[in-house]
Chain A
Amino acid sequence: MQTTSEQSHHGDVHHEELGFIRKYIFSTDHKVIGIQYGVTAIFFFLFGFSLMLLMRWQIAYPAGTENFKPVPIVADLIEKMLHAESTSMSDGVISSDFYNTLGAMHGTIMVFLAVVPMAFGAFGNFVVPLQIGAVDMTFPKINAASYWCYFAGGIVMVVSFFLPGGAASSGWTSYTPLAVFATTGQTFWLFGMVLLITSSLLGAVNFITTIIQERAPGLTWMKLPFFVWAQFVTGFLLLLAFPPLEAAGVMQLMDRLAGTSFFMPSGLVVSEVLQEQYAGGSPLLWQHLFWFLGHPEVYVLILPAMGIVCEIVANNTRKPIFGYRSLVYAVLSLGFLSFIVWAHHMYLTGMGTVISTFFQTTTMIISIPSVIILTVLFLSLWGGSIRFNVPMLFALAFLPMFGIGGLTGLPLGLNATDIHLHDSYYVIAHFHYVVAPGTIFAMFAGVYYWFPKATGKKMSEFWGHVHFWPSLIFMNLIFMPMFIQGMAGMSRRMYDGGAFYAATDDEIGLPMSVIDLNVNITHAAIGLAIAQLPFLYNLVSSLFKGEKVGRNPWQATTLEWVAASPPPHGNFEGGAPTVYRGPYEYSVPGAKQDFTPQNEPDVK
């Protein structure tokens, strides 16, 4: 690490007098990088959410029906900012191409630019080195490079909205051959993805090395907080699952720019014209490579969330986690199994019943470790004297919400039922229950929980409640009706929200009662947007006038609470703490208080 000549020594920690830019912008300190990741991810959360609000408006009030209403407030702005009206909006009508763009970019932004950077980049960076008692990540400069690759990838994605033809519009999965014929936005999407993959590769190498090498003295593997285990497995998922998508991205770029036929089959006809330039490729190949990433990616989204929830549950039930070892072995097997379930996203492609059966079997098997983790967290509540503070509320809400998301996944994992449910709103409801009231609630829990560590101030409990209860209600009002819509046969990705397939007196179709739910869902989505305002207000106002706290405001046991709030550069004054005990020693009989920090020696 580069140091300036002015150094003062406090124990082993060097306080480096860096300028503002080196300290807060191009910093190599894991805590600053973690916060950079977090702030950027929150921006992308809001951005991705706004795209979805536009889509919801179109679905609820589709053009060409009697329900039509023009997009309010932002219509003029979007029309002025974006390129041609055919690919954006005119007179408050979202064009069908623009709708496709919104869908593709909502998925891309939420998965790759919001949730992963928040769960892995922000929480991982800020918390993991503190929890293992390290001075920093192993490779601080690579850590900074990881953030700036992510930032550049984000810029590329945002800029692509302003291209002629707009941003990528072939779904977040970019299925070929559609994506190969798409406008320039798709090329930007691929370049953006290469940058994002590079970012998570650098991050993954750094995290795994840090956890292996930088653990404090005495911190053996089975004394690691579960959050660290979760990030460790997540690191391996990112490390091994992303490169195949990078390879696939390179091949799709070749198809688009060099005219190769990796994913382009012989005899392809587009708009009644035979595409003779393409021959011999395989569209299925893209799907295999994409979902080889795509399924482990699901666990990248959920494992850090489970880690956060575990920390908060242990802290607020004031008792040890029930079955810590089961948790660890479950998360390890989850990580391994997540690599052999990918083709359950592809039952309808005609890849063959034998292969489908294999993936159906592995999919059923992978539900076991997931259920173990959730059961362990539920059982940990048993007999605890629970403190219902805001982080705990979000963590508790995570449990049933993730439960609903997980269990509704089972019918999708079974071949026979998936034929009906595939690509319907049921799927949307299923994975959003996992990621939105699941992962995102865990992210909120984490923000409320570690905010005092990052800033030395506590977030307001009152505004936390104002944030939590409406969010919980609106989340369910949004996604629960989608199960009904999906089971009734409503397909996803429909521009008019299914109005075209409405049942009439003579024809069988979607019942109007199901289509009408679209309006309720859109209202709930707007409600959810409003419910995030108290959070943003709380986040900013607590920075300035939040209640000041000491090192350990939650009376927790893990090592991050040994450091000062906020921790200085180098984290622990006087060097790394020595660890004597497991991560969750709460309410130990005979102890002088109801929590025994990991660095407290045994009394002889």
Chain B
Amino acid sequence: MDIPYTVKPRPDTGLYNAKIGIWLFLASEVMLFGALFSSYIMLRAGAEPGTWLTNQLQVPLGFINTVVLIASSVTVVYAWANLKMGNIARARFFLLVTIACGLVFLLIKSYEYYHKFSHHHYPSTDPYWALYFTLTGLHAFHVICGMVVFVYFWGPGASMWKTDPERYTNRIEVVGLFWHFVDLVWIFLFPLLYLL
């Protein structure tokens, strides 16, 4: 028994199943992070005037991480484009670059966490730090999830290229969409936590 439109798009909707699925999932992710961003606004607006912490983080590190994540979003598109052109070797190379970018991001993030902990900034210190650690922690969790999927498709999952190349290409497109979303969340987090 085969489920229709798993690989080929349905003519009247123009989409294959997983693409609708991931967009719906991303819609729910927008609501998840949206709730956290709203909490930031509500807590900051409700804080005693002049007590909200600003300029607590090292902007250069945050900036480097922003560049790294944007770069990884580009490389995952390269990976997908190369699959479309039938070049699995280059695609896997770009997947590897994407994974490496994710790793660099997490390393810098870990250093920042370590730095904050060593200066006795904990989630319990202040609502600002509570939001910082919760938001970046949840974001980092998304980065890790994305990387696990990338590692799978770079390694064992890549064997699908031999049996069903179109489906494999779709899978990279779908995880790429997720990765762009994770990137986008960071693009909002960076100014919110580092600059404002």
Name A residues whose Cβ lies closer than 8 Å to a Cβ of B.
1, 3, 12-14, 16, 135-136, 138-140, 201, 204-206, 208-209, 212-214, 239-244, 246-248, 250-251, 254, 258-262, 277, 279-282, 284-285, 288-289, 292, 569-570
B113 to chain A minimum Cβ distance, whole angstroms, is 13
Closest-by-CB residue of A relative to B6 is A138
Cβ–Cβ < 8 Å partners of B131 in chain A: 262
Cβ–Cβ < 8 Å partners of B27 in chain A: 239-240
Closest-by-CB residue of B relative to A569 is B1
A-B contact count (CB 8 A): 133
In the assembled complex, B156 has its CB within 8 A of some CB on chain A: no
Given contacts A205-B21, A282-B42, contact A212 B13 (CB under 8 A): yes
The reply to whether A213 and B17 form a contact with Cβ atoms under 8 Å apart is yes
Among B122-130, B145-153, B163-171, B184-192, the one that faces the other chain is B122-130
Given contacts A244-B31, A254-B134, contact A289 B39 (CB under 8 A): yes
The reply to whether B42 and A259 form a contact with Cβ atoms under 8 Å apart is no
Give the docked Cα–Cα distance between A248 and B122 (Å): 19
Give the docked Cα–Cα distance between A289 and B41 (Å): 13
The reply to whether B130 and A209 form a contact with Cβ atoms under 8 Å apart is no
Give the docked Cα–Cα distance between A95 and B51 (Å): 44
Interface string of B48-65 (1 = CB under 8 A from A): 100100000000000000
The reply to whether B39 and A1 form a contact with Cβ atoms under 8 Å apart is no
How many residues belonging to B are interface residues under a CB distance threshold of 8 Å? 40
Give the docked Cα–Cα distance between A246 and B141 (Å): 15
B19 to chain A minimum Cβ distance, whole angstroms, is 9
A391 to chain B minimum Cβ distance, whole angstroms, is 30
The reply to whether A244 and B35 form a contact with Cβ atoms under 8 Å apart is yes
Cβ–Cβ < 8 Å partners of B46 in chain A: 282
Cβ–Cβ < 8 Å partners of B130 in chain A: 254, 258, 260-262
Instruction: Give which listed residue, A12, A214, A240, contacts B31 with CB less than 8 A.
Output: A240
The reply to whether A201 and B28 form a contact with Cβ atoms under 8 Å apart is yes
Cβ–Cβ < 8 Å partners of A140 in chain B: 3
Within 8 A of A (CB), among B8-42: 10, 13, 15, 17, 20-21, 24-25, 27-29, 31-36, 38-39, 42
Give the docked Cα–Cα distance between A591 and B36 (Å): 58
Cβ–Cβ < 8 Å partners of B134 in chain A: 250-251, 254, 260, 262
Give the docked Cα–Cα distance between A136 and B34 (Å): 33
Cβ–Cβ < 8 Å partners of B138 in chain A: 250
5 A-B pairs with the lowest CB-CB distances in the bound complex, closest first: A259-B124, A244-B35, A260-B130, A247-B35, A243-B32
Within 8 A of A (CB), among B131-149: 131, 133-134, 138
The reply to whether A261 and B127 form a contact with Cβ atoms under 8 Å apart is yes
The reply to whether A570 and B1 form a contact with Cβ atoms under 8 Å apart is yes
Cβ–Cβ < 8 Å partners of A1 in chain B: 1-3
Closest-by-CB residue of B relative to A205 is B24
Instruction: Give which listed residue, B10, B13, B32, contacts A246 with CB less than 8 A.
Output: B32
In the assembled complex, B43 has its CB within 8 A of some CB on chain A: yes
The reply to whether A244 and B34 form a contact with Cβ atoms under 8 Å apart is yes
Give the docked Cα–Cα distance between A567 and B130 (Å): 53
The reply to whether A239 and B1 form a contact with Cβ atoms under 8 Å apart is no
In the assembled complex, B67 has its CB within 8 A of some CB on chain A: no
The reply to whether A280 and B4 form a contact with Cβ atoms under 8 Å apart is no
A579 to chain B minimum Cβ distance, whole angstroms, is 13
Cβ–Cβ < 8 Å partners of A214 in chain B: 3-5
Further contacts, 8 of them, CB under 8 A, given A135-B3, A213-B13, A247-B33: A14-B1, A204-B24, A209-B17, A214-B3, A258-B123, A258-B130, A260-B123, A280-B48
The reply to whether A247 and B32 form a contact with Cβ atoms under 8 Å apart is yes
Closest-by-CB residue of B relative to A576 is B4
Instruction: Give which listed residue, B25, B31, B35, B133, contacts A205 with CB less than 8 A.
Output: B25
Given contacts A139-B21, A213-B13, contact A243 B31 (CB under 8 A): yes
Cβ–Cβ < 8 Å partners of A206 in chain B: 21
Closest-by-CB residue of B relative to A139 is B21
Give the docked Cα–Cα distance between A138 and B134 (Å): 34
Give the docked Cα–Cα distance between A16 and B2 (Å): 12
Give the docked Cα–Cα distance between A558 and B24 (Å): 28
Given contacts A1-B3, A281-B127, contact A209 B28 (CB under 8 A): no
Instruction: Give which listed residue, B1, B20, B29, contacts A213 with CB less than 8 A.
Output: B20
Give the docked Cα–Cα distance between A251 and B138 (Å): 11
Within 8 A of A (CB), among B67-99: none
Instruction: Give which listed residue, B29, B43, B48, contacts A285 with CB less than 8 A.
Output: B43
Closest-by-CB residue of A relative to B45 is A282
In the assembled complex, B100 has its CB within 8 A of some CB on chain A: no
Give the docked Cα–Cα distance between A205 and B134 (Å): 26
B18 to chain A minimum Cβ distance, whole angstroms, is 8
A495 to chain B minimum Cβ distance, whole angstroms, is 33
A159 to chain B minimum Cβ distance, whole angstroms, is 25
**Cross-chain pairs A/B with CB under 8 angstroms, 27 sampled:** A13-B1, A135-B3, A138-B17, A201-B28, A212-B13, A212-B20, A213-B5, A213-B13, A214-B3, A214-B4, A239-B28, A240-B28, A243-B31, A247-B39, A248-B35, A250-B138, A251-B134, A254-B123, A259-B123, A262-B43, A277-B124, A279-B126, A280-B47, A280-B48, A285-B42, A292-B35, A569-B1
The reply to whether A138 and B123 form a contact with Cβ atoms under 8 Å apart is no
Give the docked Cα–Cα distance between A138 and B7 (Å): 12
Cβ–Cβ < 8 Å partners of B127 in chain A: 260-262, 279-281
The reply to whether B39 and A262 form a contact with Cβ atoms under 8 Å apart is yes
Instruction: Give which listed residue, A244, A246, A280, contacts B43 with CB less than 8 A.
Output: A280
A262 to chain B minimum Cβ distance, whole angstroms, is 6
Give the docked Cα–Cα distance between A292 and B39 (Å): 13
Closest-by-CB residue of B relative to A220 is B12
Cβ–Cβ < 8 Å partners of B31 in chain A: 239-241, 243-244
Closest-by-CB residue of B relative to A13 is B1
Closest-by-CB residue of A relative to B126 is A280
The reply to whether B1 and A135 form a contact with Cβ atoms under 8 Å apart is yes
Cβ–Cβ < 8 Å partners of A241 in chain B: 31
B28 to chain A minimum Cβ distance, whole angstroms, is 5
Give the docked Cα–Cα distance between A284 and B35 (Å): 14
B138 to chain A minimum Cβ distance, whole angstroms, is 7
The reply to whether B43 and A282 form a contact with Cβ atoms under 8 Å apart is yes
Closest-by-CB residue of B relative to A210 is B17
